[in-house]
A and B are shown apart, each in its own frame.
Chain A
Amino acid sequence: MSSHLLEIRNLSVRFQSGSHQLTAVDGVDLTIDKGETLGIVGESGCGKTVLATSLLGLLPSSARVATHRLQFSGIDLSNVPSGGWRSIRGRRIGMVFQDPTTALNPLRTIGSQLAESIAIHDRSATSREIRKRIIDLLESVGIAGASGRLSDYPHQWSGGMRQRALIAMAISNSPDLLIADEPTTALDVTIQAQVLELLRSIQRERELAMIFISHSLGVVNSIADRISVMYAGRIVESGPCSEVLTTPSHPYTRALIDCFPEIGRSRGSLVAIDGQPPRHIGKIDGCRFRDRCNVGRDRLDCVSHDPVLKRAAGDRSVACHAVVI
């Protein structure tokens, strides 16, 4: 029996679109333990969000999920009976999405939306208890004078405040795992720094496990213990965040670092990655990064064989023929 809070082995998600089959997630392995933050980074369309939604049972009906193991805290997430998700989603697994504007109902007050998220999972709570819990929650996420603002509507709050309210909602039932999908992408940079600080402190205080998805290496660096780099539906490199970012193994990870704009980099020193990620992953021979790779473009094995994620020293793993482990 595994001791991981979440263990995923060989997870694939495919979509049937007409006669085409599109692969969004292709054989992903990952684990996460209590109190640990895993950052998942990659470009748009690499499968980050599909991976997260597959853990929440929120995939559309056209999705086909195949996995060897999808175990969360003793529950098999690949086989949840209908109606079973209610006791998991929002209760054991909380989530925060990218856009704080569309995640709230514009016609209902912030207070009533938070109350609902508590009442659904705790039928015995009285409305007075719920109100007190909401006020405590909102104050813990940095909303000053929360008791006077419960009857506000979402449009009366700024984007940063709305995201704080959604974080409060996500942790309202003390989940074991928090999934945050680009939670700061829609925010201004100063507000982003504040929300990251908030998520860090909540994660520490509550010993939450967190999956933090972002397209930005810098944002992931500021919050994650471990990092998994995704490319075209696959994890291509994983390991402790500080090590992967200082000594990247996979050419894609290195390329992402080289094109990351950072204060202190001299003007014009960004190295762009040529081309774009493959849009539709059908059947692929060879490495899916090879068209953009400056290391293994002409190597025979990169053309003929799809590299698998191999263990390296120090809890690191990498999927690349050109890397000697």
Chain B
Amino acid sequence: MSRGGDLMNPIIAAGSTVVTLQDVRVSYRSRAEPILRGVTLTLSAGETLGVVGESGCGKTTLLRTILGLIPTDSGVVEVLGGDPPGLKDGSPASRAAIQLVHQDPFASLNPRMTIRQILQAPLRINGYEHSASRVRELLDMVGLSHSVLENLPAQLSGGQRQRIAIARALSIKPKVLLLDEPVSALDVSVQAQVINLINDLQGSQGFSCIFVSHDLAVVAQVANRIAVMYLGQVVEIGDTDSVLTEPAHPYSMALAASVPSLRQEPRGESWRGLAVGEPPSEMMTSGCTFRSRCWVATSRCDVETPRLVERTSSRQVACHHPQGR
């Protein structure tokens, strides 16, 4: 295939922005408090942005917002230079340009369709060639044997199913791939297979990627940049290495210190256990939302909400008392 662009696949220059969120707020009718409370971030062409945070911090809602599946209260969401594709409006081409891989490969594949049917459906719907040979190419791409073609999802293992879900998402050549905890349901050995597959495919196909996970160590294996979320806000964002080795926000430090390690020396003893308690059940209306678990919080944190500000050229932090240099 030529690398030149056509109408369906316009070339996106490396480094240009493919997804922009500006102070985005989102709430669900069933909850009094908003779930996203002013999220600002960008995704550049060809990069992988990792998003980490605990359950309920709004990671999945962020992805749904980018897909246009839920309306925003306020703020700007721009995907590939336009509105998010959405369900009702938005052309098929704009929807095809952004694809999602779900966490649970047991729920995301139709149990009554064969693997061939599952992989052919998006090709047919979007007007691509959907011959058997094209489907076999997709299986090759994700390292599966052609013998699974006539199998049902139930006959495959979790790792194999997740490969099918990735092949399905990539079959129509999206510009942006969203991955929602894609390896959380898998065993460690299989987890590494899928992580390596995602890295390889990104290298060969050049899509941009948002990889959401609660596990900082997993995110570190795929992401160029990491955004740390806490209760609906990005509290720190920056290059993977710098966020991991010198976390500035206390919450990032606590997350990094909580990740189980194989090292033998007591690691980060001074950090360990510092994230006391659990996220508050009732949202705080003013001040820093992390202050109830923070060990450097002061009276300023009670009243003044920290904003995401540039700390170094490659890092932004929302904290009145950032740690480290």
State the A residues within 8 Å of B (CB): 43-44, 158, 160-161, 188-194, 197, 215-219, 221-222, 242, 245-246, 255-257, 259-265, 267-274, 276, 279
Contact = CB atoms under 8 A, between A and B. Distances in A.
B189 A255 contact: yes
Contacts of A191: 54, 278
B141 interface: no
A265 B220 contact: yes
A270 B192 contact: yes
A190 B195 CA distance: 23
A188 B192 CA distance: 20
Contacts of B264: 221, 242, 245-246
Given A219-B260, A221-B260, A261-B215, A189 B191 contact: no
A36 B256 CA distance: 28
B244 A272 contact: no
A192 B256 CA distance: 13
A272 B193 contact: yes
B78 to A, nearest CB: 28
Nearest to A271: B192
Contacts of B192: 259, 261, 270-273
Interface in B235-273: 240, 244-245, 254-264, 272-273
A273 B191 CA distance: 10
Given A44-B187, A276-B190, A263 B244 contact: yes
A216 B255 contact: no
A148 to B, nearest CB: 15
Contacts of B260: 192, 216-219, 221-222
Nearest to A44: B187
Interface of B: 54-55, 157, 159, 187-193, 195-196, 199, 214-218, 220-223, 240, 244-245, 254-264, 272-273, 275, 278, 281
Contacts of B261: 218, 221-222, 262-263
A43 B189 CA distance: 8
A312 B278 CA distance: 45
- Looking at chain A's contact residues, the main secondary structure is loop
Contacts of A43: 187-189
A293 to B, nearest CB: 12
Nearest to B218: A261
Contact of A262 (B193, B217, B245): B217
B145 to A, nearest CB: 11
A192 B187 CA distance: 18
Given A158-B278, A270-B195, A263 B55 contact: no
B278 A160 contact: yes
A193 B188 contact: no
A46 to B, nearest CB: 9
Contacts of B223: 267
A23 B169 CA distance: 38
A222 B192 CA distance: 21
Given A216-B188, A276-B159, A189 B278 contact: no
Given A189-B54, A267-B222, A276-B159, A259 B188 contact: yes
Contact of B221 (A161, A267, A276): A267
A188 B221 contact: no
Nearest to A45: B187
Given A190-B275, A246-B264, 14 more contacts: A189-B214, A194-B273, A217-B188, A217-B260, A218-B259, A218-B261, A221-B261, A245-B264, A260-B188, A261-B215, A267-B240, A268-B221, A269-B221, A273-B189
Nearest to B271: A193
Nearest to A193: B258
Contacts of A255: 189
Nearest to B203: A268
A276 B157 contact: yes
Nearest to B215: A189
B244 A188 contact: no
Given A262-B217, A263-B217, A193 B257 contact: yes
Among all A-B residue pairs, the 4 with the closest Cβ atoms:
A218-B260, A259-B192, A273-B189, A193-B258
Contact of A189 (B159, B188, B258): B258
A224 B244 CA distance: 26
A188 B55 contact: yes
Contacts of A246: 264
Contacts of A161: 278
Nearest to A241: B264
Contacts of B244: 263-264
